[in-house]
Every structure is written in C-alpha cells, then in structure tokens.
Amino acid sequence: MDEKPKKVLVTGGAGFIGSNLVGRLLKLGHDVRVVDNLSTGRKENIKEFLNYDNFEFIKGDLRNLNTCRKITKDIEYIFHLAAIPSVQRSVEDPITSNESNVSGTLNLLVAARDEGHIKKFVYSSSSSVYGDSKKLPKNENQPVEPISPYALSKYTGEKYCQIFYKIYNLPTVCLRYFNVFGPNQNLNSQYSAVIPKFISSVTQKKRPIIYGNGEQSRDFTYVDNVVEANILAAFSDVSGEVINIVCNKRTPLNKILKLINHFLGTNVQPIYKPARVGDVKHSLADISKAKKLLKFNPKVSIEDGLEKFIFKAIDK
C-alpha cells in the first residue's frame, strides 16, 4: 500500500464497529466520508471527528439509490457496515431488516458499479449465516443455513457482492464477523449484544439474564481485530472471497460473566431463562483463510479486550 491518502466511504460509520474503523482510518491519514441514518448509529460515536479536515458526515439512508450515488462519488474504497444488526429485531420485524440489509446493500453495489473506479468494496457479514450447524470450527466452505431473517439478509448481501465481482468486475470481499465487542457498543439498547448487556447489568449490581444454561459459547473478538481485518482486506489484492474474522477461541457465556465479575471485583449471578428462537448454541471459526489471504492474526485476546472495554465503558 502506498502512502498517498485514500478516499474512503464508511457506511454505518456512526455505529459501533464503523466508528472504530473511522477512527483508525483517520489516524492513518485517509479522507473519510461517513454515511449513517442514525437509526442504530449514534452521532456521539463520531463527534470527535466532526471538525477534522479529512472527515465528512452525511446523514442518509442506503434504501435510497440517489443517496448511494451521491455518497460514492469520487470514492476509491467502500467499507459497508450499515445494517440493522440484531437477530431478535429481525425476528420481530423481518421486512425492515430485509429492506435495510438487502435493498440497501444492492443499492450501494449498483452505485459503486456505476461510479466506475472503486478499488475495493468490503462487506461486513456475519457468522449467523452458518446457522446452528454442529460442525466446529466453522469454515467458509461448509454449507450455510441461516435460521433468522437477519442471517438470511447478510448471506444475501454476500451473494450480491460475489455476483457483482463476477459479472461487473467490481472488486468485493466479504468478512464474516463472529461476536464483536468493544468501545462505542451500546450498553443500554434492548438489542445490545451479550457482553455489553452483561457489563451494564453488573455495573448496576443487577442480575443479567442468560437465555439457556450459560454453557452456550461464542467465538468473541475485540473490535480492534475487526478493524485491522477491514483495512487488510481493503488494501489487499483479494477479491470475490468470503472470509471468517475472529479469534478462533470458544468462550461460554458463564465464563464471560465470571471474567466481568473478576475485572469489576463483583459477584453478580445470572438469571437463567429458556433459550430464544433463532439463537445459535455454539460458534467457533476456522481463520486459516484469513491468515493465508490477508495475513490476519488477531492481536487482542478476549481477556485483554474485555478488560479494555469494561474500563472504557466505566470511564464514560
């Protein structure tokens, strides 16, 4: 990669992962344009960047094709993170999930194709596409089996990216994230992921809810690892691929709660409730493809990332 600043677009850049990526791209000296409709993203996540000369914020919705054409103008690299990210929310409202995650992605791909000089389109996908497959670790060659509208929407986005690469020669790469956590993740939303919910409950001395027996496990990864993977993917010569991005380590929810208690010096016990429809029991990823194609190696461990996240959340 040469040292010349790149013109990059981050969709969903006011969201959790997006805002962390924006911060890193700005630090590297790139010119960053963010689009976000602020339905799940928050302006406070990017407020420190608003006066930067190399930062531009546009409030807009990818469901509008004209908006997509406007935001891709003169852009070289696209990081597409905008989505309605919750499995549970998609179960409750599949139509909105589909419109945002599928139609929005297709509009952006069409605009990127028509812009004509996009060097890479990096799509944020999800491990949820694997469904409740018993095969572990999950690798990119095994069959997918989405069991929620959200998972299906992310898989559809992957296929659109691959089709646009094959028939329009738009360089795309899809990254499948597994349970990302870290700063700027909303602790208080009813759709928050498990780690921020646990932290919020424990800091308030409230018993967190675990759906199931707590031995269901996730391959968690700290957000800095995902940011690094996005940058590696964008500035690589890899296109047309789907790649797992995570730490390749399975951690039960009971252990996560135990670690949070340890870092906070508390002993808050959970309330167990029946497992929810659409939830996956176990996830663990094979990341050999990411290592080979992107030279990706997760630098922040689960334990170190959790400690960082906890104390950044408390400082806020």
The string of DSSP codes covering 246-263 is S-S--EEHHHHHHHHHHH
Query: Which active-site residues does the annotation give?
Result: 150
Q: Which domain holds residue 67?
A: 7-182+220-248+284-300
Count Cβ atoms below 10 Å from residue 294 Cβ, excluding itself: 23
132: CATH: 3.40.50.720
Are β-strands 217-218 and 77-80 bridged in parallel, bridged antiparallel, or unpaired? Answer: unpaired
What pairing do the DSSP bridges indicate for beta strands 251-252 and 217-218?
antiparallel
Residue 66 lies in a domain: yes
What pLDDT was estimated at residue 2?
A: 55
Domain contains 207: no
Q: Pairing between strand 221-222 and 271-273?
A: unpaired
Does residue 192 fall inside a structural domain? Answer: no
309: in domain: no
Q: Determine, yes or no, domain membership for 91.
A: yes
Structure confidence at residue 90 (pLDDT): 93
DSSP 89: H
Angle between helices 223-234 and 302-315 (to 10 degrees): 110
How do the pLDDT tens digits run along the chain, 316 residues long? 457 899 999 999 999 999 999 999 999 999 999 999 999 999 999 999 999 999 999 999 999 999 999 999 999 999 999 999 888 899 999 999 999 999 999 999 999 999 999 999 999 999 999 988 888 999 999 999 999 999 999 999 999 999 999 999 999 999 999 999 999 998 776 656 889 999 999 999 999 999 999 999 999 999 999 999 999 999 999 999 999 999 999 999 999 999 999 999 999 999 999 988 767 788 899 999 999 999 999 999 999 999 999 988 776 5
Domain count, the chain: 1
